[in-house]
Structures are given as structure tokens and as C-alpha cells.
Amino acid sequence: MNWHSLLLFLHVTSFAVWFGTIFASLFFLRTLEPKLTGSSGDAQEYRTFLFTYIKLETKVADAGFKTAVATGLLLALFFHGWTLWVFVKIGLVALQVALTMGYIVKAIQPLAYPCSTDAYRKWYNLFAISLGMFALVLAVTFFLL
């Protein structure tokens, strides 16, 4: 059995799962925007729907993230070695998590629904941070490594 290929497949697949859940959430939140902004009478129902979705999405994203990190560390340990670029990639992933979690605590958790369209845009700023960091990690991985 080719362990390198298996680990690489799991690493890329789990990264795609992590990225995909974030991307799907962007479209989901875009769809809910009219119901969670303004003076919608059913905002509480959609708020509950949003929180249920986030709870489920977090489980999938966390599983993808943890698997991507674990397989990446195993690839470095057994096949690629601990090079400068491995540490750069680890640093970028840690930065992505820190920026994302920090922004969620600072800007997303305080939101109350219904909210203004300007307040709701904080969600899009979160996705700009996440997707921007994904792009940076991928650029480093594919163009500099």
C-alpha cells in the first residue's frame, strides 16, 4: 500500500471539505440575508435556523480541519521532513484560525437578529478573511513549495 498517496489524498480531501463548508456557508448566509435584516416578523425563526446550521457546519468544518492538520503533520513527519516551508504553512493555518476565531468573537457573536444590512455585512467580512487566507495557503502550497 502506498501510504504517501493515501495520506496525500486524505489531506487534500479534508482540506476541500473544510474549504467547501466555508464556501457553502457564504451562500447559505447570502440566502438568509433578507430574512435576518430589516423588520422581518419571522427573524426569530430564521435566527434559530441559522444557529442550527452553524452548529452542524462547525462539526463538518472542524472534522475537515482536524483531519487536514493531522494528515499534514503525518506527511511532514514521514515523507517530506520539517522544512522551512512546512513551518510557513503551519504558521499560515494558525494565523487563519486565529483571525477567523478572533473576528467571530469580536464581530459575529454580538449580532442580534433582525439586524441592519450594514451589521449583517460583518458576515461577509468573515468570509473575506477565511477565503483570503485559504487563497494565501493555497498560493504558498502550490506556487512556493
Torsion angle of alpha carbons 37, 121, 56, 90, nearest 10°?
-170
pTM flag (> 0.85): yes
Distances (CA, A) of 79 to 72, 121, 136: 10, 43, 23
Radius of gyration of the chain (CA): 18
| pLDDT of amino acid 42 | 81
Q: How far apart are CA 24 and CA 145, in angstroms?
A: 28
Q: How far apart are CA 128 and CA 8, in angstroms?
A: 27
Which range of residues forms the domain containing residue 35?
Answer: 3-144
Count how many domains the chain has.
Answer: 1
pLDDT by 10-residue block (mean), the chain, 145 residues:
93 94 95 86 88 96 96 94 91 95 96 92 96 91 75
| pLDDT of amino acid 77 | 95
